[in-house]
A and B are shown apart, each in its own frame.
Chain A
Amino acid sequence: MRSGIVAIAAALVLTGTSAAAWPLAAAGSAKAKAGALVGNQPTPAKSDAITVALSWAATPGASGYTIQRSGGVGSIGGTCTGTVIGTSCSDSPVVPLTTYSYTVTPIAGTWTGTASAPRSITA
């Protein structure tokens, strides 16, 4: 008898507690913003007679980089070919006393970022 009364009272208290939580709902819109990939200018340095070493600061969100070279003949080589993972590479071979200009373009997925400003070096 007593346990039955206590059980009823407990049930009422629980009912009172749940009724206090007033449910609300709203529909609307939230936001998210995409970043943009912008390349950072490389720092070129001669590492030997036929090699230029390049390094640059990482771009937030980039998964890799492509390096462009102008000046001289031929195309970029060494570890700077294709997609570079990381923030440094070596262009080889280069022709001594030839001036080369380099830019760095970040990439991520299908995104291609904005190329950095060029920086030159005479090999």
Chain B
Amino acid sequence: MLTLRIRRRTLLAVVGVVAAVAAAGGAIASWSTSTSGNAYSKAGTASPLVLSDASASTSADLYPGADGTLKLKVANPNSFSVRITAVALTSGGTITSNVAACNSGGTGVTLTNQTGLTLDLATNAGATVFSIPGAVHMSNSSDTNCQGAVFTIPVDVTAASS
């Protein structure tokens, strides 16, 4: 009798958990798939992060044979906070500079793809500059005309809601 009562209680508790999770899952599902313009889809539609020009905030710290800092200027237009977890060179992308002679002579600049980052952006955060030290490397073969140049590095940014 006692065993039966415990089993009933356990079963009810499990049913309760399942119902709660199912309800949550339903809400999340309508976030991700609805495009009909109802209240749920408006609140839950994910907009891509916005990457913009970070050259104004770029400090000069890249020299031949040394690592430098990558500057990432990104905004979060979403109504939820996000965490950037990875930054990688766009597949097939080329790093260029604002100095033609540097590009023709060879920038010598490479990006080390970054994973495991914890760069947090608040809900509806405006353009925010993140610095990732040591992400960029300049080889000793970098052309002398690259002095003072600003390098544009095409990247793919991976993030998740947090």
Complex CA distance for A12 and B54, rounded to whole angstroms? 43
Q: Complex Cα distance A8/B50, Å?
A: 40
Let me know if A12 and B151 touch, CB within 8 A. no
Number of interface residues of A (CB under 8 A): 38
A5 touches B (CB below 8 Å) = yes
Contact A16 B25, beta carbon cutoff 8 Å: yes
- Known A32-B151, A109-B141; judge A24-B82 contact (CB<8 A): yes
Q: Given A26-B50, A110-B142, A112-B144, is A32 in contact with B109 using a C-beta cutoff of 8 Å?
A: yes
Interface size class of B (residues with CB under 8 A): 35 or more
B residues 111-153 with Cβ under 8 Å of A?
Answer: 111, 136, 138-144, 146-153
A113 proximity list for chain B (CB < 8 A): 147
Contact between B155 and A29, CB atoms less than 8 A apart: yes
User: In the complex, which of the residues B11, B21, B64, B111 contacts A108, with contact meaning CB atoms closer than 8 Å?
Assistant: B64
When C-beta atoms are compared, the residue in chain A nearest to B23 turns out to be A16
Q: Are B159 and A25 in contact (CB under 8 A)?
A: yes
Do the beta carbons of B14 and A108 come within 8 Å of each other? no
Contacts of B155 in A (CB 8 A): 27-30
Determine whether the beta carbon of B80 is less than 8 Å from that of A15: no
Contact of B51 among A28, A35, A63 (CB under 8 A): A28
Contact of A61 among B28, B66, B87, B153 (CB under 8 A): B66
A residues whose Cβ falls under 8 Å from a Cβ of B: 2, 5-6, 8-9, 12-13, 15-16, 19-37, 60-63, 108-113
